[in-house]
A and B are shown apart, each in its own frame.
Chain A
Amino acid sequence: MSGEDWTFWISGSFAVIGALGLVLSRKAVHSALWVAFTMINLAVLYIANGAPFLGMVQIIVYTGAVMMLFLFVLMVVGVDSSDSLIETLKGQRIAAVLFGLGLAALLVFGVGNGLVNAGTVGLVEANSADGGNVEGIARIIFTDYLIAFEATSALLITAALGAMVLAHRERWIPRASQEELSKARFLSGTHPGNLPTPGVYARHNAVDTPALLPDGSVSEESIPGPLQARGDIRAVDHHEVNEIKEVGSA
């Protein structure tokens, strides 16, 4: 076998294994990984076939960007969430098998027809026509297929725009920046730091126990708002306070 044969059989089998892994995995993240694996093997096949540019772009765009976005979404959804395997559409499996077979038949006959009847020019010739693989692709994209290329990019931009519209949330007022928040905090004239904590008085350790100021009076700031509103404030026993003072000074 020649080098090309070896590459084809190894990378081709890997690509098929990856595709099967995609379908048979239970975890969505594992499926995504199998796709990435398949993509890389397809890229190897492209490169072996004299299309290095396509191979590299395949890895950068599909493995690097698209699958990474998929992974991102899957990870946002959650580590342990698994998909429900109950069919929601009736006859979905049969339809899927039929369409799958149809697609396979189309591909086999289409590609086979191309191989048998169209006659091949050879990659070396195609690549050397414009002085190289990259130059050849550039010429084709920006001359013969310019409109298709631009239409595709317009389609992609429309899709991106749609996603932005769906995800967009109109702000009524601009979000205050860190600087503005900080300034507002100091300009308000109130104490900018932490408020005194409740529950620090002697034996009690509860949020309804007010902190005491040095003169023994209650610091009302130390009690949470809802408790204040309900009047749920633990009474301070001033005899106790005085006792503690005496113990402290003795």
Chain B
Amino acid sequence: MTDPTYGPFGLDPWWLVLVKVVGIFVMLVLLTLFTIWWERRVVARMQHRVGPNRVGPFGLLQSLMDGIKLALKEEIIPKGAHLAVYWIAPVISATTAFIAFAVIPFGPTVSIFGVETPLQLTDFPVSVLYVLAIASIGIYGIVLAGWASGSTYPLLGGLRSSAQMISYEIAMGLSFVAVFLYAGSMSTSAIVIAQEPIWYAVILLPSFLIYVTAMVGETNRAPFDLPEAEGELVGGFHTEYSSLKFALFFLAEYINMVTVSALATTLFLGGYLAPWPLSLWDGASSGWWPMLWWLLKVQVFIFGFIWLRATLPRMRYDQFMRFGWKVLIPVSIAWILIVATARVLRDDVVLTNRELLIGGAATIAILLIVSWVFQARGDRRAAARAAREHEAANLAFDPMAGGYPVPPMPGQQAVGTSRRSRAGVTIVQERSLTQAANDVTEEAIDG
């Protein structure tokens, strides 16, 4: 066994580890209850309603009551369900949601009952990858729930979820790369400390925007909530779940929201570091204060999630996939290339101004030539295609060309049998249909 310690981590006595674990658990459950209430209130305000305001002060206990009610409801298990997998799916979802939080830093080193310890359960050299790994296991819960329900809509939801997760996790992983390059580490605590002078959201803005987009896709939240799209798939993967099992999915979704927000805070908004005007006050980044800054930053992201949900309609599935693969991933790769080049130029190569100017001019010239070549080729192709279509359209469609029934070529019009195509000119008939109908009517009257 190698040394399990990493910096100040792994040195806590067992009771302190227990305190931290229970603390994180309680915090996540409370945050979930709070977020559900907060979401309902904010969405209500945005829709000119009041929202829950009856149970407890400002309706704060509403989600607790709802949770108790949900857990006590009757459980219905469909006959076609694959029982073992059906049972384990919500458990996978909920447990992975909790354990991803083990490496999130809440604050610097503080003293708890006389022991100096960092406000973070644990950390190791690749802890950001750990969050990514746990998230990828968590999606199994959703996919398996869809499969095990033995029902069509959940299956479609599960399928969508697996495709969505693969696509958006690539973009998410790529957005981390620039952060790793700048921080020189993949451990969350080191990344926070590396943002001491300036947050990565500022210097790595494209990475930040890509991550924020991908995190909404990764948590299945509106406008990317396709696995549970209620307009299309009833409830998606959780259609067949009820009672406590449904509550576990509910819990997992809200904890995942907090987790990705916390990761965004850690990687891009300086984690627990005090924001600018406060950072001028020395006391702001010592003791327990940083945990407050951390919580406020996470709440900013949560509010963003709620705002998105209240504002945007759900995306269409194909557009969503196209956006992930054809926009987010290529942009990420290009941005990493730029960042890596800039780092190498700054660190290893010393350039004179003259060389920089020549290099810049050469790059722009190459880009112009390449874009011109692509443009010319695109134009040529479009012209050729138009010519081909024109040619095809001029040939009349022969449905029995060569003695066999054949489909129309591109540009040709088939003889329609639909009601709509009757409005066109392609139907060849001896009598007009109006005439036929009227004749029939007259016959009936006469006879």
Does A115 sit within 8 A of B, measured CB to CB? no
A211-250 residues with Cβ-Cβ distance < 8 A to B are 218, 220-221, 223-226, 228-229, 231, 233, 235-239
- Do B136 and A60 have beta carbons less than 8 Å apart? yes
Annotate B161-184 by CB proximity to A: 1 below 8 A, 0 otherwise.
011011001000100000000000
CA distance A71 to B143 in the complex (A): 8
Partner of A236, one of B85, B418, B441: B441
Decide: A56 and B147 in contact? CB cutoff 8 A. no
B130 touches A33 (CB 8 A): no
CA A203 to CA B286, docked complex, whole Å: 83
Which stretch from A91-99, A102-110, A127-135 is at the chain B interface? A127-135
A60–B147 alpha-carbon span in the complex (Å): 21
Q: Does the CB pair B437–A69 fall under 8 Å? A: no
| Stretch binding the partner chain, chosen from B36-44, B331-339, B356-364, B419-427 | B419-427
Within 8 Å CB of A20, what residues of B? none
Query: In the complex the two chains form, is B126's CB within 8 Å of A134's CB?
Result: yes
Which among A33, A132, A195 is the interface contact of B420 at CB below 8 angstroms? Answer: A195
Q: In the complex, what residues of B have CB within 8 A of residue A29's CB? A: 82, 85, 147
CB distance from B158 to the nearest CB of A (A): 6
State whether the Cβ of B394 lies closer than 8 Å to any Cβ in chain A.
Answer: no
Residues B130 and A56 in contact, CB atoms below 8 Å apart: yes
Smallest CB gap from A226: residue in B: B417
For residue B55, CB closer than 8 A to chain A, the reply is no
A53 pairs with B155, CB closer than 8 A = no
Q: Is the CB of A69 within 8 A of B423?
A: no
Indicate whether A220 sits within 8 Å of B437 (C-beta atoms), given known contacts A68-B162, A134-B186. yes
A22 in the interface (beta carbon within 8 A): no
Q: Which residue of A lies closest to B144 (CB)?
A: A33
Whether B65 sits at the interface, judged by CB under 8 Å, is no
A-B pair number, CB within 8 angstroms: 146
Stretch at the interface among A72-80, A81-89, A140-148, A155-163: A72-80
Give complex CA distance A75, B162 in Å. 10
> B436 touches which one: A36, A133, A233 (CB < 8 A)?
A233
Contact A134 B125 (CB under 8 A): yes
B444 touches A36 (CB 8 A): no
- A75 to B152: give the CA distance in the assembly, Å: 11
Q: Which residues of B contact A33 (CB under 8 A)?
A: 85, 144
Q: Write the chain B residue with the least CB distance to A59.
A: B133
> Within 8 Å of chain A (Cβ to Cβ): is B440?
yes
In the bound complex, do residue A223 and residue B419 qualify as a contact, i.e. CB atoms below 8 Å apart? yes
The interface size bin for chain A is 35 or more
B437 interface neighbour in A53, A79, A218, Cβ under 8 Å: A218
List residues of chain B with CB within 8 A of the CB of A173: 385, 389, 410-411
Distance between Cα atoms of A220 and B438 in the complex (Å): 10
Asked if residues B137 and A210 are in contact (CB atoms below 8 Å), the reply is no
A147–B422 Cα distance when bound, in Å, is: 65
Asked if A172 contacts B410 (CB within 8 A), the reply is yes
Task: State the CA gap A231–B435 with chains docked (Å).
Answer: 11
- Assess whether A76 is in contact with B159, with CB atoms less than 8 Å apart: yes
Instruction: Provide the residues of chain A in CB contact with B143, threshold 8 Å.
Output: 68, 71, 75
Query: With an 8 A cutoff between CB atoms, is A190 at the interface?
Result: yes
Would A64 and B169 count as touching, CB distance under 8 A? yes
Q: Which residues of B contact A40 (CB under 8 A)?
A: 137
Closest to A173 in B: B410
CB distance B2 to A124 under 8 Å?
yes
Interface residues of A in 1-53 (CB under 8 A from B): 2-4, 7, 27, 29-30, 33, 36, 40, 43, 48-50, 52-53
A60, B132: Cβ atoms under 8 Å? yes
Q: How far is the CB of A75 from the nearest CB of chain B, in Å?
A: 5
A123 at the interface (CB under 8 A from B): yes
Measured between beta carbons, the chain B residues less than 8 angstroms from A172 are: 409-410
Contact B417 A225 (CB under 8 A): yes
- Asked if A57 lies at the interface with its beta carbon under 8 angstroms from chain B, I say yes
Given contact pairs A134-B186, A221-B419, A225-B417, A79 touches B162 in the complex (Cβ within 8 A): no
| Interface residue? B347 (CB, 8 A) | no
Indicate if the CB atoms of A79 and B166 lie closer than 8 Å.
no
Q: How far is the CA of A205 from the CA of B77 in the complex (A)?
A: 40
**Partner among B82, B139, B419, B440 whose Cβ is within 8 Å of the Cβ of A224:** B419
Question: How far does the alpha carbon of A60 sit from the alpha carbon of B186 in the complex, in Å?
Answer: 15
Asked if A123 and B2 sit within 8 Å, CB to CB, the answer is: yes
A52 to B162 Cα, complex, angstroms: 26
CB of B350 within 8 A of chain A?
no
Closest Cβ of chain B to A28, distance in Å, is 11
CB distance from A157 to the nearest CB of B (A): 13
Q: Which residues of A contact B443 (CB under 8 A)?
A: 235
- Beta-carbon contact of B1 and A72 below 8 Å: no
Chain A neighbourhood of B423, CB < 8 A: 188, 190
Which positions in B face A, CB cutoff 8 Å?
1-3, 82, 85, 124-126, 129-130, 132-133, 136-137, 139-140, 143-144, 146-147, 150, 155, 158-159, 162-163, 165-166, 169, 173, 186, 385, 389, 409-411, 416-423, 429, 433-434, 436-438, 440-441, 443-445
The 3 tightest CB contacts between A and B, nearest first, are A64-B136, A235-B444, A50-B2
A-B contact pairs, 15 of them (CB 8 A): A27-B82, A49-B2, A63-B140, A65-B136, A65-B169, A68-B143, A68-B166, A75-B143, A75-B146, A134-B126, A218-B438, A225-B419, A225-B421, A228-B419, A231-B436
| Additional pairs, 9, CB under 8 Å, beyond known A63-B133, A68-B165, A195-B419 | A63-B140, A68-B162, A68-B166, A72-B162, A123-B2, A132-B125, A195-B420, A218-B438, A236-B441
